[in-house]
Structure 1
Amino acid sequence: MSASPLLSAWIDGVGLIAPGLPDWSTACAVLAGQDAFASAPSVLPAPALLPPAERRRASRVVRIALASGLAALDHAGLDPAGVATVFSASTADGHNCHALCETLASDDQRVSPTRFHNSLHNTPAGYWSIATGAMAASQSLCAHDASFAAGLLEALVQVGSSAASCTLIAYDAEYPAPLAAARPIPDAGGIGLVLSPTQGPRSLAQISVNLSDSPVTALADPQLDALRLAIPALRGLPLLELLATRRAGSAVLEYLAPLSLQVTVSPC
């Protein structure tokens, strides 16, 4: 198919938390083939920026979103309070959804207000604003397994239209049984990318995207590719592999069928 008009930006920071990949530094060595991948449960840092009451209520979805986004902004050396955000997830808070279903199936069907507000798809964005004091624009979206690519497109549009930085925070977490049978995500995973309109001292690479009908890029390591397929937010791993290897090239990411998203990377 003919290429659509390009969107482009500079990547100034990366955050990653995934099974066996606890941070971007570790992931760089694994994705570049310097260290072997060893699967392990995701370690979700406590959301220290939240007040105690909100910290106690923060679910795994909130914790993975905050941790991956804050890691990316720390890598970029930016204050999260002043940077626009795009939150993108294929699902919502599975554990909270399970608890709501249990309540509705019980004799006492009164739903806790806290349970209800934590069931909203933009709950992580709300906790983000509480934690960081951010007043910048924020979007929350969902496109099932295409959510990483959809979020990347939205963040690039925000950068292009505002001429200001924007942080993409793509994340997912598991559902408990019996919902896990219908949506079998094994663990939490998140990718944060700080995108800027111009090259800066911390820029890692320039990226540009266009819609494509090419096959999606798979990772050569079968364990890493299984991880890419298991957690929708990690559909962005082929892009991170190019960043980790500091290699110019393209990666084709899953988008809304029959389309895919081709991302071209030019390292600094």
Structure 2
Amino acid sequence: MNTIGLHAVGLLGPGLDDFETARAILAGTAPLAGDAINIPPVRLLPANERRRTTTTIRLALKVAEEATTDSDRSQLRSVFASSSGDMDIIDRICDALTQPEPVVSPVQFHNSVHNAPAGNWSIATRNPAPATAVSGYNATVAAGLLEAATLQQCEGGEVLLTCYDVPSMETFIRVRPIHHAFAVALRLGPVEGATWRLQMDLKGPATADRCVADELEALRESNPAARALPLLEQLARGTAGHVTLDAPLGRSLSIRIEP
């Protein structure tokens, strides 16, 4: 794949409030302090829509907003990638269906679909451009990167990639052990004017890179979206480097990073 530009990053996770303030942690010059995560309301949504949002939607849109601060959101194409979608809503709907008189909340049903964050982003930004929702189990980050990069290479312009997952609820925790909320957004585009340049190659089986910091490695293993952390560590270090991520179907995604 040809070289692609990375123009901005959004980040939210335990002890990681945004990409700018998390740079020192990701670069290894400051420790990851605490595991609290604050997911703010979506400022871009109208009040009526804002009240109906879920944790998953707020998580995804927070990092999307951060990564697009200096761009025209009204025309930006987007890819939203999540391994498991809105686990909280799915848990509640499954529980409701087991009751003697099963009643599913219309709002919960509305938000249960996999592309709910993408739809809310389109509403929030008044954006009619195409939005894609993808999933690739533990390789969701690589699946989203490949989708977004291919779209950018084929059609030009900028593409927003947002990867996110929330913790599994009690019903699913044994089969899908996701323990922390995490989200990252990457605004991809032309090489000209980009902060970083990425060269991606889809290859055969290879061992995915681990995080340098033990605390970040524990987070990487706790959430599929956090598989992006080795890439974020390299970006924060500000030097050229190479990262390997797990890709779908047992393959790997090799990424060469240049400032």
- Checking the alignment, whether the CA contact within 8 Å between 1:7 and 1:157 is kept in structure 2 is no
Aligned AA for 1:103?
Answer: A
User: Aligned to 2:146, which of 153, 156, 166?
Assistant: 153
Q: Percent identity?
A: 35
Q: Does 1:173 align with 2:163?
A: no
Cα deviation per residue 1:35-66 (whole Å; 9 max; x = unaligned)? 11123222111112212222121111101110
Deviates more, 1:91-100 or 1:173-182: 173-182
Deviation at 1:23, TM superposition (A): 0.6
1:28 counterpart SS class: helix
Aligned AA for 2:254?
Answer: Q
Q: Does 1:69 align with 2:64?
A: yes
Task: Tell me what 1:215 maps to.
Answer: 207
Aligned AA for 2:119?
Answer: G
For residues 141 and 184 of structure 1, the distance between their equivalents in structure 2, rounded to whole angstroms, comes to 20
Task: Tell me what 1:265 maps to.
Answer: 257
Cα deviation per residue 1:184-235 (whole Å; 9 max; x = unaligned)? 21121101000012311xx211001112333111112111111111111111
For residues 45 and 168 of structure 2, the distance between their equivalents in structure 1, rounded to whole angstroms, comes to 24
Deviation at 1:257, TM superposition (A): 4.6
Deviation at 1:113, TM superposition (A): 2.4
User: Aligned to 1:204, which of 195, 199, 209?
Assistant: 195
Task: Tell me what 1:21 maps to.
Answer: 16
Aligned AA for 2:63?
Answer: S
Deviation at 1:71, TM superposition (A): 0.5
Cα deviation per residue 1:160-181 (whole Å; 9 max; x = unaligned)? 0111100100000012212222
Deviation at 1:254, TM superposition (A): 1.5
For residues 44 and 143 of structure 1, the distance between their equivalents in structure 2, rounded to whole angstroms, comes to 24
Task: Tell me what 2:136 maps to.
Answer: 143
- Checking the alignment, whether the CA contact within 8 Å between 2:180 and 2:219 is kept in structure 1 is no
For residues 163 and 217 of structure 1, the distance between their equivalents in structure 2, rounded to whole angstroms, comes to 29
What is the TM-score when the length of structure 2 is the normalising length? 0.96
Aligned AA for 1:147?
Answer: T
- Checking the alignment, whether the CA contact within 8 Å between 1:143 and 1:150 is kept in structure 2 is yes
Gaps of 5+ in 2: none
For residues 173 and 45 of structure 1, the distance between their equivalents in structure 2, rounded to whole angstroms, comes to 15
What is the TM-score when the length of structure 1 is the normalising length? 0.93
For residues 239 and 183 of structure 1, the distance between their equivalents in structure 2, rounded to whole angstroms, comes to 24
Cα deviation per residue 1:58-101 (whole Å; 9 max; x = unaligned)? 11110111001110111xx1021111000000011111111101
Q: CA RMSD in A?
A: 1.2
Gaps of 5+ in 1: 1-5
Deviation at 1:7, TM superposition (A): 3.9
Task: Tell me what 1:49 maps to.
Answer: 44
1:145 counterpart SS class: helix
User: Aligned to 2:114, which of 116, 121, 138?
Assistant: 121
Following TM superposition, where does structure 1 have runs of at least 4 consecutive aligned residues deviating by more than 6 angstroms?
Answer: none
- Checking the alignment, whether the CA contact within 8 Å between 1:8 and 1:156 is kept in structure 2 is no
Aligned AA for 2:186?
Answer: L
